[in-house]
Chain A
């Protein structure tokens, strides 16, 4: 029962702040609302018992990416001013794009949830198991994707330095 109550509280928080994040006129407030959404998601992971995912969600999204977002917003011109409403044609395009995204994600989630239908139990996964999973070369282990991502990040860093050096 307690789990259900916490789930509903988190769900309401996530929904309300997601809506606020996109409807808010001030960009810095949007960022703050988005932060609450990310923290709520972390709460859901904790509720499911995925401790590692919970900590990573907070460290990477709330503590890392949101800090960079807010930093970037503070460095832009006037973060406190209301964002001007875009032209109607743009709004229509944006609406269509988001609808398409919703349909795509919804389709994937619907099919996968139908396929599994029961959440697999992985509450007791230890960091040691996770490390072997990430660094292993056997079947269903992730060394290659892991290294690919690190190359991608390296490329991003080099690119950022190139952009910064141009001035």
Chain B
């Protein structure tokens, strides 16, 4: 089936032209640089769109207009904010560790960027397809917390410090749950490679395939992913009423921008990993046997499917954020260590039993 709107045509054309014109080394070098530039640009653009969407949706939840002065419907608001943040002075803090203070935002943004690079956005829009994809994403995203801890310490400010400690405790605990939830699906799919994970979900998404177990894992992943990004009811590290702004209180200009960007992109990354692992990634909705329906759905390009599914999850995350009051720190840690983690461990065992006894939907109904 030809799909005229896919990016695979463009990328394969580029590859063949470059290889025809240049020796392999230079062709590869140019491609690597291009991939990096495209990823960085996508990172920034997605952040801008997310900030605008978040402000509009927040306004909708709070029954107000949101940004509506810059451009039509306030569309240029986040662009204006970006220019403002680029022009701001970077303030130097007295009696603080200069080197760590400047290094900290980079940890955050590099970890976020490296995770972003591992996501499959569509057919042929996957920068690197490790055979350990899920593990890679989990590993690289865990480095970001070091940026938060160092920022909190090197700011020479007790509010930053408390915020950073809270953030550290929260991130380390909830990362465990997120990892276990993903492991449950790895058990189901039998692979950690993103391309194989997606291909295996062609007619039956993982969330349906493992029914009970998958749905529990999905909910746990969304909760712990939400907590990892320091948002919603879990935003203790930056609780405005107690800590001014938490670990990034002392940052200004672009350095603050890095934290801001990384926070929004982490939300996107959590949603897109959930999409890829549970909801069939960039594959269209397809039903085995309904060839006409599948053909029509297949005409919509894969990246649109990916972004649509991700957008639904992001909306869910915002919905949660503006619906629940902030938790106390003891409630937060109780939720993780006394409820989510035990449920998760049992859930993993249930999934192993489901797979071994052939009770997954694919086995029951003979779906490929």
Chain A positions within 8 Å of B, measured between CB atoms, are 1-2, 26, 28-29, 32, 35, 39, 51-52, 54-56, 58-59, 62-64, 66-67, 70-71, 74, 79-80, 126-128
Contacts and interface: CB of A to CB of B under 8 A. Distances in A.
Contacts of B136: 51, 54-55
Contact of B135 (A59, A71, A79): A59
A58 B149 contact: no
B73 interface: no
B80 interface: no
B146 interface: yes
B342 to A, nearest CB: 15
A128 B139 contact: no
A126 to B, nearest CB: 6
B97 interface: yes
Contacts of B97: 26, 28-29, 80
B138 interface: yes
Given A29-B97, A74-B153, A55 B139 contact: yes
Interface residues of B, number: 31
The 10 A-B residue pairs whose C-beta atoms are closest, nearest first, are A63-B142, A59-B139, A58-B139, A55-B139, A55-B135, A70-B149, A55-B136, A51-B132, A55-B132, A127-B192
28 contacts: A2-B29, A28-B150, A28-B153, A32-B103, A32-B150, A35-B146, A51-B130, A51-B131, A51-B132, A52-B135, A55-B135, A55-B140, A58-B140, A58-B142, A59-B142, A62-B142, A63-B139, A63-B143, A64-B142, A66-B146, A70-B149, A70-B153, A71-B149, A74-B152, A74-B165, A80-B153, A126-B131, A128-B191
Given A52-B132, A80-B97, A67 B145 contact: yes
A67 B149 contact: yes
Interface string B290-329: 0000000000000000000000000000000000000000
A58 B142 CA distance: 8
B161 interface: yes
Most buried by A among B131, B165, B190: B131
Given A51-B132, A128-B191, 8 more contacts: A28-B150, A29-B100, A52-B135, A58-B139, A67-B168, A67-B172, A127-B132, A127-B192
B339 interface: no
B21 to A, nearest CB: 19
Interface in B85-103: 97, 99-100, 103
Nearest to A28: B153
B365 interface: no
B190 A2 contact: no
Contact of B100 (A32, A55, A59, A127): A32
Contact of B146 (A2, A52, A70): A70
